[in-house]
Amino acid sequence: MKKGERDSSILNVKKLGMDVELPGYVYDTDVGLDIRANEDVTIAPFEQKTIKTGIAIEIPKGCVGLVRDRVGILTKMNVHTSAGTFDPFYRGEVSIVLTNFGEDDVSIEKGMRIAQLIILPVIKVKVKEVKKLNETSRNEKSFGSTGVKDVIHELEQLEKMIHKKK
């Protein structure tokens, strides 16, 4: 490694408060670092709120930090994490945007694991305008062209069954 370069496998994290927990992996096989709320927040049905985490991060150069749902909070609380992208030069507080898709208020408690952060290498590309793109078997087939509509239908049916049991 050259002088002044950072190890791309290290995520520098700055705590913005004394009682803040660092992001971490629960299992050695996890790919996402769990990110925790640093405040108590109530989210009404179909409301979106930005949750502070109490940390600032330094994504390694040549990488990107992607915010993703935690399956538990999505399936048990019906709360979705809006996608987030952290570039290597952002140094502000990490905030997580959550949306409540349920019918009841949801309480987010300080210290609760609300999202996961995945660090991935990025390839920078050159943009080239062309008159024609290479043909593929999919071509212009859009959303749902590979069976997604069937999966969405099944998920809707499961959600209806769950709401009936409540």
Domain at 12-126, CATH from 2.60.40.1180, 2.60.34.30, 3.40.50.300, 2.70.40.10:
2.70.40.10
Every domain of the chain and the residues it spans: 12-126
Read off the amino acid at residue 124: K
Q: What is the pLDDT of residues 110-138, one digit of tens each?
A: 999 999 999 999 999 999 999 998 888 86
Alpha helices in the chain (DSSP H): 71-77, 148-165
- Decide: pTM greater than 0.85: no
Q: What is the pLDDT of residues 63-82, one digit of tens each?
A: 999 999 988 888 888 899 98
Name the stretches of the chain with pLDDT < 70.
1-8, 138-151, 165-166
Pair type for strands 33-36 and 84-86 = unpaired
